[in-house]
Structure 1
Amino acid sequence: LTMSLPPDPRVDGDPEYNREEIITAVTEFYKSLARLPYIELADILIPPPDGWPHITEEKFAALRKNHEVIELIRHLPYMNMSRHEYMIAPDTYPIDYRGKGFNEGEVSEESAGRAIPPGLEVPEWVVPLTYGSRDGTYLMLDTTDGMSSSFSS
C-alpha cells in the first residue's frame, strides 16, 4: 500500500530548490532592509567567493546537517549581530551562522543556542534561517524543495 501526499497548494507545479536563488533572495531582502533607517548597510556581511571559510561539514557535524545545508549557510550573507540584534519581523531575528556560537571551535547544539528550535527535531535537510523570541518565528528552509515553513515555540 502506497500513499501519496496531495500537491502543495502554495506552489504551482513541483517546487524546486535552487541555492543561488535562495542566496540572491536573502541578499536582496537584507539590502532592502538597509534602505530603511534601521539596518546599516555595513552590517550586511557578504561571503567571500568560496564562502565563509570556517563553515565546514566537519565543524558543524554536531548539528547533523547534510552537505547542501552546509553549502547554503557557507554562502549566505549575514547581518552583523555583534553590535545590534536586528529584528526582521516581530520578535524574529536572522541567524548568523558565521557569528558568535559558530565561529569558535566545533559547533555543538549548546553553542548554537537559539539557532535550534527548542523541543523540535529538525531534519538534516532543513535549516533555520531565523529564530524567534517570545512571539517570534523560526523560518525553516527545506533544501529538498526550496519551501519554507514557520515554527513558533
Structure 2
Amino acid sequence: MNTITDPRAVAARVYELFDTGNVGGLDEVLSPGLVDHNPVPGAASGIEGLRLLVAAVRDGFTGTRHELVFQGEAGDGWVVSHWRMTATHTGDWFGTPATGRDVSFTGTDLMRIVDGKVTEIRHVEELLQLHLQLTS
C-alpha cells in the first residue's frame, strides 16, 4: 500500500523504482488505470507499458541514477520533473547490445498525481543524446 501522498514525493518514488529496477514496486505509485501519453513503441498505454520500460532500463544498464534537476507543481495534481539519468550500458537496450559505456542523458516528465497515485504521464527523453553515446 502506498503511504506517500505528497505529489512531488510520489514522482520522486517513480525514479527510485527505475533506479532499483523494482517493477513490482510500481503498484505502489501507479494507478491501475494509468494513461501514458508516450508509451514505448508497441506497448500499451498504461501500467504494463511502464513496467516494460522499468525492466528495459534495469536489464540494459547498471548503476542507474536519476538526479532531479528541477521539480515543481503545476496545479490540479500535475508535477513537472526535469531529470538526468546516469548509468553504465551493460545489457541490451532495445536492440543495442551492451557497450560498457557510461551514459548521461536528460528527460522531462509531467505526471498527474491523484490520491498518491500517478494517473496520467507525459514524458520526453533525450534519446538522441543516449543513442549518440551508445553508437559513436
Structure ranking higher on relative contact order (CA contacts 8 Å, 6+ apart): 2
Q: TM-score, normalised by structure 2?
A: 0.31
Greater fraction of residues in strand: 2
Q: TM-score, normalised by structure 1?
A: 0.29
Greater fraction of residues in helix: 2
